[in-house]
Structure formats: structure tokens, C-alpha cells
Structure 1
Amino acid sequence: MIFVNYLLMCLVFGTTFLAIKVGIDAGAPPFFSAGLRFLLAGSILFAFMVIKRKATFSLLLRKEMFLTGMALTFGTFATLYWAEQHLSSGIAAILSATAPLMVLLLQSALARQRLSVHALAGCLIGSVGVVLLLLPGLTVNFSRLWVIGCISVLVGQVFYSAGTVYSRRVVKRFEDTSPIALNAAQMMYGGGMLLLLALFVEPIDIGPWLAPKAALSLLYLIFAGSMTGHTIFYWLIAKTNPVFPSTWLYVSPLIALCLGAALYGEPISVLSVIGGITIVAGIVAVNLDSLKTLLSKGRPQRSKAGESKAV
């Protein structure tokens, strides 16, 4: 179930970079678009959980929801949406692939644990794999705004990493609350903050939303990107660890490339194939300890005298 949900999340997130770019290119204001996306998605999910009696409105009064929303939604997507006005979706994907390494470093520092060599190597290998995968079709237009856009995405990944690690603590603190409700609450806060930012820095114009591409982009990001993808992400944090679900940033570009080849006949270069293999190797290395645990659980346990137990 964990791996099925992980692949579904990667499939959804693999298309969100392009969906964001489509909406922005159609003229939709970036901060207002992001705020509307997350506020609506969070509100729909939270209302559903309240109706199902799996959440109460008192959850919205907890500071943990505000802090998670500020890091995981506001800080991450305010920077990403702004940056994609000046960057290609490929560059944004490559820069975002630094997040798993940031998560690993932050988690190790906070827990005061010794950094796993194979996990660190896996993050670096995965990042290299994303670069190799996207390199053949990469376009770069150097300018001052391009550089600022790159820095903006990296700052967003710092917020994302902090929010991911903090989310793990929040999930443990609210063990009796569904991860879906926790995700919905933080999206409502993050979306509200993005809309507030939009009121100060963007002109409010409904004209761009009348364009079919902008409207479809928003609907897809609400229902697929936020309600489905982010809910699975939060669920995976609860079930595994902060680093594992963050590796979607390695897999999603690979899925996007494969879909382009299968649906549109886009060519795949040898370099991209090497990049795909490198990504898989990096993910295996990052999650080596977890994979060993899963494999050991699958072995038959023997307790009879003279027989060794599975480790």
C-alpha cells in the first residue's frame, strides 16, 4: 500500500510543475492562483472530514496547523509560483530536487543522529540523476530575474524541508487525528496566507481565469495536486519518515518524461535513460535501511530450537 500510494503521488506531482506553468503563462496571478488552489482544496477536504466526524473545527485553532501551513504551503509555493514566471518547469524541477538532501540534513541535525553515508550518497545520486534526465531538453535564459528565480526556488525548498520534518512531529502529536484532516488544516492556513500576500502585491483581475487553460490548470491543481497528491504525501510522512516521501522530487520528472514518450511520442535520449537509472539507484540508496526492514519482515520467523531467527 505504501509503494502504491508513493507511485500515485509521484504520478500526480510529476504533472503539477507543468500545470503551474500553464496557468501562469495563461496570465493567472501566481500568488492568487496558489492561494485559491490551497484554500479551496483544504476547505473541501476539511469539510468532508468534519462531516465524517473525523475532525473538529478546534483543530484550526492549533498553532501547529499555522506553522505547518506557513512552511509547507506558503513558503514553498509562494517562491515556486513566483519563480516559474521566469524559469522553465525543467529548471524548477531540478532545483526542487535538492529538497530530499535538505530534509535528510535537517532531520539528522535536529535528532542529533549520525548522518547515514548511503542516504547522503543516495540524495546526491538522485539529484545528479534528475539533472541527467532533464538535460537534453533543458533551456536556460540567463538574466537577473532568472538568477533570482533560481534562488527563490531554493529558498522555497528550505521552507519545504523544514515543514516536512516538522510535519512528522505534528503527526505524532496528533495521533488520534487523521493525516487527511491535518493536511487540510495546514493547506487552509497556507492558502489564506498566499491570498493575503496577493492582495498586497498583485492586481485582482478575474479576466485571466476566463481562459480555459488557466481554469483547467486551477481545477487540476486543486483536485489532483492538492487534494490527492498532498494528502498522500502527508499520509506517507505519518507511515514512514520525512525523507522517503520527499524523494518524489526525483521520480516525478522521470514519470513526466515517460508519459511524454508514451502519449506524445517525444524522443528519449540515452542521457535521459542514464538519468532514470541513476534516479532509481539514488532512491534505493536513500531508503536502504527501510528496504532492509521490509525485506526482513517478509522472511518467515523461526522460533524452534536449533533454528536461527530471521533478522
Structure 2
Amino acid sequence: MVLVNYLLMSLIFGTTYLVIKIGIDAGAPPLFSAGIRFLLAGSILFFWMMLGKRKVRLSLLFRKEMFLIGAGMTFGVFATLYWAEQYLSSGVAAVLSAPAPLMILLIQSRISRQKLSITDWSGCIVGSVGVILLLLPGITISISTLWILGCIAILIGLVGYSAGAIYSRRVIQRFEDTSPIALNAVQMMYGGGMLLILSLLTEDVQLTSLLAPNAILSLLYLMVVGSMMGHTIFYWLVAKTNPVFPTTWLYISPLIALILGMMLYDEPLSFLSVIGGILIIFGIILVNMNSLRQLAGKKTTLQQ
């Protein structure tokens, strides 16, 4: 059951990049559709858990910790991702999102003042080279300023996500008696609200663009499957295994997104982009080598 849910989660997260792209291409305002997605998904999850009396309190809605996590893990990363996917293919956006664990490692080492190992540094260097190779086709072939700005925006958004992820670990420890799913729901609500505010300030939202079939289907899929199902499976896996195993979806989903974008949406895929994507994923694996070895050791022990 664990393996089935893990593969399902990886597939879900891998498809979301393409579905975001489809909704944007259908005319849906990027920031507005992102805000609606997370606000509704978080609200439905939270009040469903309250009705089921599953370790959740209404006072959670008024905690500043939830606001800060939502600002980093939902608002910061998805504001830049949705905006950037107006100019990038879904596959490139997915691979550019893959260095998040590398950023988390660097920020953690800076905070704790611990030196990185040779393997960690190797992973960071390999991942950085991968990002450069991924950017080269857009610079040398399309020469699009917006393409380059989209790439930079996603990488900037990852800084907010990484900071939010590190902070959320402390918050989860502080709220041990609260379901992690409820914590995630509230931070999605805050992040979605901030996305809607930014949308109202920067976008001209037309009702007709939101009613396009592809825009509606994209929103529903991302809200129900991407946010509610995907994240619920993630936290279920954390409870059933450990915090390391579920996060390895980051090694698989970018490849799924690249393949889906090429096969289903005729997105261009250059040789340098493929090599860059592989290097980014390989760098992430190097950085997490010790955690993966520990996980493999636990699996072997359980099988014996």
C-alpha cells in the first residue's frame, strides 16, 4: 500500500505542472487561479477535519505561524511558478523546481553553522551546472527575455519555499497534538488569500476567461487532485514511513512533467534541457545520499 500511494503521489505532483500550463494557456489569470485553488482546497480540508474531529482546533486559523508558512510555502513559490508558466514549458518549470532540497540544505547549514560534506558540495555544484544547462537553450535559441525572467522567478520562489519548509519543521514539533494535514490546510488558506490579494492588485480578471472549459478543468484538477489528494497522501506516507521517503518524489516528478509536456502538449525538449534536468536530479540525490542509505537500511531490516 505504501509503494502504491508513493507512486500515485509522484504521478500527481508530476502532472500538476502541465495542468497549470493548460489552465494558463486557456486564459485563466495565473495568480487568481492559484489563489482560488489553494484557498478552496485548504478551506475544504480544514473544515472536513473539524467536522470529523481529527486533532484540529479553530484557533489554528489565527496563528501567526500558519501565516508565515503560507507566505513561504504557498504564496512565495506558487506566485512565481504560475507567473513563470506563461513563458516557460511545464517541463522546464518542473525541473527548475527540483533544486528546492539543495536550497534547504544550504539554508540549514548556514543557520546551524555546520560545514557541508564533500558529497553535499558535489551535489550542489552538479545541481547548479544542471540549472545552467537548462537555461542555455532559452538564451542561445529563443533569446527571450521573458523566458529568462520566468526561470529566475521560479528560482527566487524556491528561496521562500525552502525557508518556509525549514520553519514548518519547528512549527510541526510545536503543534505535536495537531494533525499535519490540518497545518497544511491552514497554510494553504493563508497562501491562497495572499495570492488573491496580489491578483486583485495586478491582474484584470475577466469572468469569461475563468469559464473556459480547460480553465475550469485545470482548476478542479489542481484543487482536488493536486492539493487535496496529493498532499494528503504525502502526509499519510510521512506517518506510515518517515519524513525522508515521501520527499523523494522530487527525483521523479520533474521527469514525469518533461515527458508529459512533450507527449501531450507538444512542448519542445532540447538535448541540453534533458542533460540539465538529469544533472539537477543527480545533484539532489548526492545531497540526500545519507538519508537514502538510511532508508534503504531500514527497508532491508524490515524485510529480514
Report the counterpart of residue 115 of structure 2 in structure 1: 114
Q: 2:243 aligns with which of 228, 240, 248?
A: 240
Bigger mean CA offset, 226-235 vs 277-286: 277-286
The equivalences for 1:55-204 within 5 A come to 55-125=56-126, 141-204=142-205
Alpha-carbon offset, residue 126 of structure 1? 5.5
Q: Which has the higher helix share?
A: 2
1:30 aligns with 2:33: no
Change (3 A) 1:296 1:146: closer
| Structure 1 gaps, min length 5 | 302-311
User: Contact between 2:135 and 2:151, CA under 8 Å: does it hold in 1?
Assistant: no
User: Contact between 2:42 and 2:184, CA under 8 Å: does it hold in 1?
Assistant: yes
Alpha-carbon offset, residue 69 of structure 1? 0.4
| Residues in 1 aligned to 2:122 and 2:207: alpha-carbon distance in whole angstroms | 47
Alpha-carbon offset, residue 256 of structure 1? 3.4
| Residues in 1 aligned to 2:284 and 2:117: alpha-carbon distance in whole angstroms | 14
Alpha-carbon offset, residue 172 of structure 1? 1.2
1:51 aligns with 2:51: yes
Change (3 A) 1:108 1:286: same
CA-to-aligned-CA distance 1:233-261 (integer Å, 9 cap, x gap)? 456677425xx755534421222355679
Bigger mean CA offset, 163-172 vs 122-131: 122-131
Q: Which amino acid aligns with 1:188?
A: M
CA RMSD of aligned residues (A): 3.6
Report the counterpart of residue 217 of structure 2 in structure 1: 216
Alpha-carbon offset, residue 280 of structure 1? 6.7
Structure with larger Rg: 1
| Residues in 1 aligned to 2:301 and 2:246: alpha-carbon distance in whole angstroms | 28
CA-to-aligned-CA distance 1:78-103 (integer Å, 9 cap, x gap)? 11111111222233223222222111
Alpha-carbon offset, residue 60 of structure 1? 0.7
CA-to-aligned-CA distance 1:105-136 (integer Å, 9 cap, x gap)? 11222233332332343355466668889999
User: Contact between 1:39 and 1:192, CA under 8 Å: does it hold in 2?
Assistant: yes
| Residues in 2 aligned to 1:135 and 1:114: alpha-carbon distance in whole angstroms | 31
Q: Which amino acid aligns with 1:17?
A: Y
User: Contact between 1:64 and 1:170, CA under 8 Å: does it hold in 2?
Assistant: yes
Q: What SS is found at the alignment partner of 2:115?
A: coil
| Residues in 1 aligned to 2:262 and 2:97: alpha-carbon distance in whole angstroms | 23
Change (3 A) 1:175 1:28: same
CA-to-aligned-CA distance 1:145-188 (integer Å, 9 cap, x gap)? 23322221111111111111111111111111111101100000
| Residues in 1 aligned to 2:139 and 2:229: alpha-carbon distance in whole angstroms | 29
Alpha-carbon offset, residue 144 of structure 1? 2.9
Alpha-carbon offset, residue 13 of structure 1? 1.4
Alpha-carbon offset, residue 11 of structure 1? 1.3
Q: Which amino acid aligns with 2:20?
A: I
User: Contact between 1:100 and 1:246, CA under 8 Å: does it hold in 2?
Assistant: no
User: Contact between 1:132 and 1:271, CA under 8 Å: does it hold in 2?
Assistant: yes
Q: Which amino acid aligns with 2:295?
A: L
Change (3 A) 1:151 1:131: closer
Report the counterpart of residue 290 of structure 2 in structure 1: 289
User: Contact between 1:35 and 1:191, CA under 8 Å: does it hold in 2?
Assistant: yes
Aligned length: 300
User: Contact between 2:102 and 2:287, CA under 8 Å: does it hold in 1?
Assistant: no
User: Contact between 1:35 and 1:193, CA under 8 Å: does it hold in 2?
Assistant: yes
| Residues in 2 aligned to 1:146 and 1:28: alpha-carbon distance in whole angstroms | 19
| Residues in 1 aligned to 2:59 and 2:118: alpha-carbon distance in whole angstroms | 43
| Residues in 1 aligned to 2:248 and 2:260: alpha-carbon distance in whole angstroms | 19
User: Contact between 1:74 and 1:194, CA under 8 Å: does it hold in 2?
Assistant: yes
The TM-score normalised by the length of structure 2 is: 0.82
Work out the percentage of aligned pairs sharing the same amino acid. Answer: 65
| Residues in 1 aligned to 2:75 and 2:182: alpha-carbon distance in whole angstroms | 18
